[in-house]
Structure 1
Amino acid sequence: MNELIAAIKQAQRITFLTGAGVSTHSGIPDYRSKTGLYAGAANPEYLLSHENLTQHPQAFYEFVTKRMYFPAARPNLIHQEIAALCNEKGTLVTQNVDGLDKQAGNQHVIEFHGNLYDLYCQKCGQAVSYEDFAQDYHHQIDGGIIRPHIVLYGESIASEILMKSAQAIANADLLLIVGTSFRVYPFAQLIQYRQAETPIYAINRESIAAPASVRLIQDDALTVFEEIRKGLETC
C-alpha cells in the first residue's frame, strides 16, 4: 500500500482501468457471481446480444430493465477518489455502463462499453429519456425500437473509443486496474499500449488475468481506496 500511494503521489498522468467491482459497493451486482446479473438466466450472453435485440426486442427489454438498471444507485468512495485523481491528473477507461463515474464528477471518463442511460430510437436516432424507456421500449413518436447505447454481444467497440483508450494507456506513467478480473476482450488487451517503463498496479478481490509484471493488491477495492484517501491526505 505504501508503495502504491507513493506511486500515485509521484505520477503525473494516471490511467485507471475499472470494472464491475467498483460499482458493487453502490448496490449494483457484478455479472458472473452467484448473485450477479447473469445468475439464473439461461444463455445471458444471447439475451444481451445484438441478435436478441433485433429478433426478440421484448425479451431484450425485459432482461436489461429487470437486471441492469439501478437508477437509485449513487457513486461510492471508489468512484469519488478516482474522479478526484482523474480531474487532477488522469483518465478513466471503464467497462461499467452504469454512469456512476460521471455522476461522481469525473470529467475524464471513457466509457468503453457505453452507458445504459444513453438511450435512443433506432428508427429516427432521437435521444430518449430513461423514464420513457422504463415505460415502453417503443418510441412514442414513431414506434421505433429504443435501445441503450451499450456494446452488445455481437457488436464491435467503436474505433474512436479504441483509439482514445489506447492513447490514454500510452500517455500514462502509472496504470491502475481496479475491480475487474481482466478477462473481457478487447478491454484486457489495452495494456499492450503502455510504455515499457510504466508500472501497473491491480486492486481486486481475486487474482486477475494479467502479466506477471502487474503488482496485485488482492483486497476489496473499497478498503484499499479508503487507505489511498488517507495516504493522499497526508501528502
Structure 2
Amino acid sequence: MAMVAGGGGAGNVATRAKDVWRLVDMLRASQRVTVLTGAGISTDSGIPDYRSPGRPPYRPLQHHEFMNSEYTRKRYWARSLVGYPRLSQARPNAAHKALVEFEQTGKLAHIITQNVDCLHQRAGSNSVLNLHGNIHEVVCLKCGHVSCRVAYQDLLLHHNPHMRGALSTDHGTSAARPDGDVELGEDAYASFNLVHCGHDQGWMKPHVVFFGDNLEQEVVQQSYQAVDDGDMLLVAGTSLQVWSALRLVRRAISDGKPVAVVTRGPTRADDIVTLKLDVPLADTLPSILQDAA
C-alpha cells in the first residue's frame, strides 16, 4: 500500500516533506522516467478539470450521445464555438515547463498525457503521446479527414453570425468546462447551424476520445511501449478514473517498476502505487524535478 502524504498539521507537513524527498530519491535512482499526466497538470493554466476537491460535479459528454443525436452535436459545437478561444489561449504553467527541463537532463523517457490541450508540446516537450487526442484538430467521421480547429472555428462563426454576441461575453471561469466549452442557454442550440466536412458532408467531431469511446489500438500499443521504455512511472495530476490510464499504472507495477503519484485528492491506484503525494502540482513538481536532475 502506498504511503500517502498530504493534508495540514505539523505531523502531516513533516510526513509530506519526508515523502517529497523520498520521491526525489526515486527519481534520482531511475535512469529513464515515463510520466503520465492528467487534467490536474493544466488547472494552473486556467483549464478546469473534472474532479478537483470542491469542484461541482461535472458529467462529461458521452461518445454515444454525440454520435446518436443531432441536438447533442449542435449543443457541443455551440458551446465549443464560445469556449474554444479561451482554451486556445491557455499557456503552459510551471509544471509543464519543469518537465521540459527534466527532459533536457536525459532522464525523461516519454510523456503520456490524457489531456487534449497540447500544453506539453507548447511548452517544448518532445516525446509526448496524446492518449485521448488533440482538441486543436477536427476529424470527419465519414472520411477521416483531419483539419485545423482554428479554421473550423472560422467556418462555425461564418455560418452562425448570431453567436458573435456570446463570443464577446465574458462567461467567467465558473462557466468553463474541461472539454473546452462553456455553459449556454438552451435557446442557443436550436438555431445553431452545424458545419459538415467539405469533402463528403460528413459529421465533424473534435479529434479527441469522448468518454465511452475506445482508443485506437495503435495508440494503446504506443502507450504500453512508453511505459515499457521507462524504469519508473511518475503520475501527475490525474485521479486515474479512466481505464486507459489506470491500466498503464497496473502494467508498470506488474513489471516491478516503482510508481509515484503526485496529484490532489484520491486516485483509483492509491492502494497499489509505491508513493502518493497529495500536493498542488505547479507548486511542488518543479522543485522535485529540479532536485532529482
Q: State the TM-score, normalized to the length of structure 1.
A: 0.84
CA contact under 8 A between 1:15 and 1:168: conserved in structure 2?
Answer: yes
CA RMSD of aligned residues (A): 2.4
CA contact under 8 A between 1:133 and 1:146: conserved in structure 2?
Answer: no
- Alignment pair present for 1:113 and 2:132: yes
Quote the Cα distance in structure 2 between the aligned partners of 1:150 and 1:128: 13
Which string of whole-angstrom CA distances, capped at 9 and with x for unpartnered residues, describes residues 125-166 of structure 1? Answer: 433222232231514734443221111233211111111111
Which string of whole-angstrom CA distances, capped at 9 and with x for unpartnered residues, describes residues 9-37 of structure 1? Answer: 3321111111110000000000245556x
Q: Percent identical across equivalent pairs?
A: 29
Paired residue for 2:195, among 138, 156, 169? 138
Aligned to 2:260: 201
Quote the Cα distance in structure 2 between the aligned partners of 1:138 and 1:132: 12
Paired residue for 2:96, among 79, 86, 91? 79
Unaligned segments of structure 2, at least 5 residues: 1-19, 157-193
| Aligned partner letter, 1:17 | L
Structure number with bigger Rg: 2
Quote the Cα distance in structure 2 between the aligned partners of 1:6 and 1:187: 25
Q: How many residues align?
A: 227
CA 1:35–1:197: 2 relative to 1, 3 Å? closer
SS at match of 1:148: strand
Quote the Cα distance in structure 2 between the aligned partners of 1:85 and 1:102: 14
- Alignment pair present for 1:24 and 2:13: no
- Alignment pair present for 1:226 and 2:259: no
CA 1:213–1:123: 2 relative to 1, 3 Å? closer
- Alignment pair present for 1:49 and 2:70: no
> By percentage of residues, which structure has more helix?
2
CA contact under 8 A between 2:197 and 2:204: conserved in structure 1?
Answer: no
| Aligned partner letter, 2:207 | H
CA contact under 8 A between 2:131 and 2:219: conserved in structure 1?
Answer: yes
- Alignment pair present for 1:59 and 2:75: yes
Aligned to 1:192: 250
SS at match of 2:40: helix
Quote the Cα distance in structure 1 between the aligned partners of 2:82 and 2:114: 20
Paired residue for 1:160, among 202, 218, 221? 218
- Alignment pair present for 1:215 and 2:275: yes
CA 1:73–1:141: 2 relative to 1, 3 Å? same
SS at match of 1:176: strand
Paired residue for 2:110, among 72, 88, 91? 91
CA contact under 8 A between 1:93 and 1:110: conserved in structure 2?
Answer: yes
SS at match of 1:70: helix
SS at match of 1:167: helix
